[in-house]
């Protein structure tokens, strides 16, 4: 992997991690378009640059994470409960999930179907009752956590799944989006930590790999900061429909390319 390739992938990660468009799906396709060899470092890189995106959430919402009081204790308890389903499912089906990550066909279908869903989401949940995350109880948080498991299919989008899950649990659209951001922190921290632990020898044996990973995280952090602010404003103004159209267009483009024989896997 060259530095310019690492920067492009990191930009894609930062832009799409918190949007309901699937960062994993976009990175799968981007890697293929860049003709990147799917070696062990590339797979590790695509997961571990999520650390930069995580830090963007912590910085933007630092009072939620770093100011300690009674409300924060309840906040952390809800995050821990919500992340448990993904940790369990991810651990039990890690190999099958890794296999799906190399399938542009799965990405294309998931983007298309998910886009159709987003066209109607704003009309499904029109009477929210929870306007602050403090009003959400542990059981609602756990149910949102189960929704997050759906996003282990590449192209589904962790952000979309958890936001829809939050709205289904009576959260307002904005509160559901913010809780999705918060839930990303322990979820991606666990995934990144696990991947780093498995790939520590690969990193320690090659300083170039460490440099690429550092650059990737810095780029992902900066871009994610911008993307989060943009998404919240766009969500208030346009809802989910615009993202639905985007997903449908990209999903169809991928499926057409595959049908025409273009190689989108490496």
Among 6, 110, 63, residue whose Cα is nearest residue 14: 6
Any domain includes 253: yes
Give the CA count within 13 Å in the CB-facing half-sphere of 208: 6
Give the CA count within 13 Å in the CB-facing half-sphere of 170: 7
**Confidence at residue 100, expressed as pLDDT on a 0 to 100 scale:** 65
Any domain includes 266: no
The pLDDT tens digits along the chain (266 residues) read: 888 988 999 999 888 888 888 887 788 778 878 887 767 788 888 888 888 888 888 888 887 777 776 667 888 888 899 989 988 887 787 677 766 666 778 888 889 998 998 888 878 877 878 878 778 888 999 999 899 888 888 788 888 889 888 888 888 888 888 888 888 888 888 878 877 887 777 777 778 888 888 999 999 999 998 888 888 777 777 778 888 899 999 899 889 988 887 766 54
Q: Output the six-digit token pair for 210.
A: 């460490």
Any domain includes 128: yes
Among 156, 179, 181, 184, residue whose Cα is nearest residue 168: 179
Contacts of residue 103, defined as CB under 8 A and 6 or more positions apart, other chains included, come to 28, 154, 265
Task: Report the alpha-carbon distance of residue 152 to residue 187 in Å, rounded.
Answer: 11
Task: Report the alpha-carbon distance of residue 72 to residue 181 in Å, rounded.
Answer: 16
Alpha helices of the chain — where are they, by DSSP H?
Answer: 3-16, 23-33, 40-48, 50-60, 62-66, 70-92, 94-100, 104-124, 138-150, 158-168, 173-198, 200-204, 207-238, 241-259
Secondary structure (DSSP) of 156-207? S-HHHHHHHHHHHTTB-HHHHHHHHHHHHHHHHHHHHHHHHHHTHHHHHT-H
Task: Report the alpha-carbon distance of residue 198 to residue 91 in Å, rounded.
Answer: 13
Task: Report the alpha-carbon distance of residue 75 to residue 162 in Å, rounded.
Answer: 16
Task: Report the alpha-carbon distance of residue 99 to residue 94 in Å, rounded.
Answer: 9
Task: Report the alpha-carbon distance of residue 20 to residue 242 in Å, rounded.
Answer: 10
Any domain includes 191: yes
Domain count, the chain: 1
Task: Report the alpha-carbon distance of residue 136 to residue 154 in Å, rounded.
Answer: 28
How big is the chain, counted in residues?
266
Give me the domain span that covers residue 227. 3-259
């Amino acid at each position: 992997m060259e530095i310019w390739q690492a920067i492009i992938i990191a930009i894609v990660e930062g832009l799409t991690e918190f949007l309901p468009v699937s960062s994993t799906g976009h990175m799968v396709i981007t890697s293929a378009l860049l003709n990147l060899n799917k070696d062990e470092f590339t797979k590790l890189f695509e997961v571990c640059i999520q650390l930069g995106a995580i830090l963007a959430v912590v910085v933007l919402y630092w009072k939620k994470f770093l100011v300690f009081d009674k409300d924060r204790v309840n906040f952390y308890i809800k995050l821990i409960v919500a992340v448990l389903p993904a940790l369990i499912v991810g651990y039990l089906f890690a190999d099958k999930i890794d296999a799906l990550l190399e399938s542009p066909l799965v990405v294309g279908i998931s983007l298309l179907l998910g886009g159709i869903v987003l066209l109607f989401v704003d009309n499904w949940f029109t009477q929210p009752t929870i306007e602050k995350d403090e009003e959400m109880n542990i059981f609602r948080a756990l149910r949102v956590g189960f929704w997050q498991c759906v996003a282990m299919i590449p192209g589904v989008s962790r952000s979309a799944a958890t936001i829809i899950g939050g709205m289904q649990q009576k959260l307002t659209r904005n509160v559901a989006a913010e809780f999705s951001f918060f839930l990303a922190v322990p979820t991606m921290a666990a995934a990144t930590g696990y991947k780093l632990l498995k790939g520590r020898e690969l990193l320690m044996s090659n300083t170039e790999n460490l440099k690429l990973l550092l650059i990737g995280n810095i780029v992902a952090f900066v871009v994610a900061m911008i993307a989060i602010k943009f998404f919240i404003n766009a969500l208030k103004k346009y809802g989910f429909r615009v993202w639905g159209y985007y997903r449908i267009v990209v999903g169809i483009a991928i499926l057409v390319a595959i049908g025409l024989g273009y190689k989108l896997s490496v």
